[in-house]
Amino acid sequence: MSNKSSFYGKVYRIVRKIPKGKVATYGQIAALCGSPKASRIVGSALHHNPEPVTVPCHRVVNRFGMLAPEFAFGGKEVQRKLLESEGVKVNDDYAVDLSEYLWDGIIQQ
């Protein structure tokens, strides 16, 4: 297994732990992976999500709470619908209020 696929696997394991009704940031996932400056490769992993049904990558936003670019997760409208179905309010600018919805990042064992 390459370092890249190993890192991607770590990203997917963490993303699976984000609870419904919460979001995480790219940087938060990178930090939990032990590579706090690797948010770009985290984004790459999320956008190549091999199991969209079981790996809820739509719950990851940028550091400002903005939803993913149009090319990811089926686009901003799809991501909005998925988040809103889980109780996360998305504003008209395609952003979520991180003070309300940010996951604390504590991984329960």
List alpha helices for the chain, DSSP H: 3-15, 26-32, 39-47, 76-85, 98-101
User: Rg (Cα) of the chain, in Å, rounded?
Assistant: 13
| 33 belongs to the catalytic site | no
List alpha helices for 16-71, DSSP H: 26-32, 39-47
CB 80 within 8 A of CB 93: no
The catalytic position among 32, 42, 57, 72 is 57
Residues annotated catalytic, as ranges: 57
